[in-house]
């Protein structure tokens, strides 16, 4: 017998466009009782200004207000997502630090919601939010559909990452050799080329050769930048 998850995976696995993938996730979220769905992802690079992308079917005017008021910077659900993988329900207490935002969201029909974040080995942080305008989310409902909500969170992040990663972080497809990885690990630990040459029993020229190769592959301006990029992308 085909399970619910297997049935949905068959419908999602061949989608290559992030917009089409989000529309498929939206349809699934509506099937389990939520009229609105939102997915946001924070890409780890550049470190000084990480990219954040958002996909949702919220009312257009609310999207404009959210952006104009920079609500992303004070959104309690986003703050929670940065520090915890635990799912969270929208409550008055949760939004107390951003009460104006909360009141405005409800005026657009965004009254009841649930969100969960997820992280991957590339350092990206995603968050799926399911929301609706009426009917509070009860514990009984959560007990019934929580596994579907959690599965949707994982499926959304994996699928959207597949569609977006190489477009946003070209370096993600880079392959480092074993020797390049070893040299870069020692570089990340603060070792000089001379010190690494003694540790690995190779010439300093060879160490610098590997470091330069990594810098070219990762489009990094120096070895420190290369080490940071590699670490953030889970290569080390």
**pLDDT tens digits, 126-161:** 999 999 999 999 999 999 999 999 999 999 998 888
**pLDDT tens digits, 18-28:** 999 999 999 99
- Structure tokens of 190? 């603060």
Per-residue pLDDT at 1 exceeds 50: no
- Mean pLDDT score, 63-85: 95
Closest CA to 218 of 158, 185, 174, 182: 174
Q: Which fold has domain 4-168?
A: Beta-Lactamase (3.30.450)
**pLDDT tens digits, 151-187:** 999 999 988 888 887 777 777 778 899 999 999 999 9
- Mean pLDDT score, 23-48: 90
Long-range pairs of 141-148 with CB within 8 A, sequence gap ≥ 24: 141/33, 142/114, 145/32, 145/33, 146/87, 148/4, 148/32
Judge whether 131 and 35 are in contact, CB under 8 Å. yes
Q: List the chain domain ranges.
A: 4-168, 174-232
CA distance linking residue 236 with residue 231, whole number of Å: 5
Per-residue pLDDT at 233 exceeds 90: no
CATH node for 174-232: 1.10.10.10
């Amino acid at each position: 017998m085909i399970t619910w998850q297997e049935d949905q995976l068959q419908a999602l696995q061949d989608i290559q466009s992030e917009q089409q993938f989000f529309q498929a996730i939206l349809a699934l979220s509506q099937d389990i009782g939520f009229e609105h769905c939102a997915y946001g992802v924070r890409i780890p690079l550049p470190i000084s200004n990480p990219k954040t992308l958002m996909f949702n079917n919220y009312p257009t005017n609310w999207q404009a207000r959210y952006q104009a008021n920079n609500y992303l910077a004070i959104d309690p659900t986003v703050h929670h997502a940065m520090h915890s993988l635990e799912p969270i329900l929208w409550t008055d207490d949760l939004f107390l630090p951003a009460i104006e935002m909360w009141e405005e969201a409800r005026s657009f029909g965004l009254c009841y919601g649930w969100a969960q974040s997820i992280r991957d080995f590339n350092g990206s942080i995603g968050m799926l939010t399911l929301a609706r305008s009426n009917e509070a989310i009860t514990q009984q409902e959560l007990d019934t559909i929580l596994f579907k909500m959690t599965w949707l969170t994982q499926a959304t992040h994996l699928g959207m990452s597949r569609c977006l990663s190489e477009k946003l972080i070209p370096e993600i497809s880079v392959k480092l050799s074993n020797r390049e990885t070893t040299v870069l690990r020692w570089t990340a630990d603060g070792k000089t080329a001379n010190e690494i040459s003694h540790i690995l029993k190779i010439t300093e020229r060879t160490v610098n050769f590997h470091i330069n190769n990594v810098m070219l592959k990762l489009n990094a301006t120096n070895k420190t930048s290369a080490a940071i990029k590699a670490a953030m992308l889970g290569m080390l």
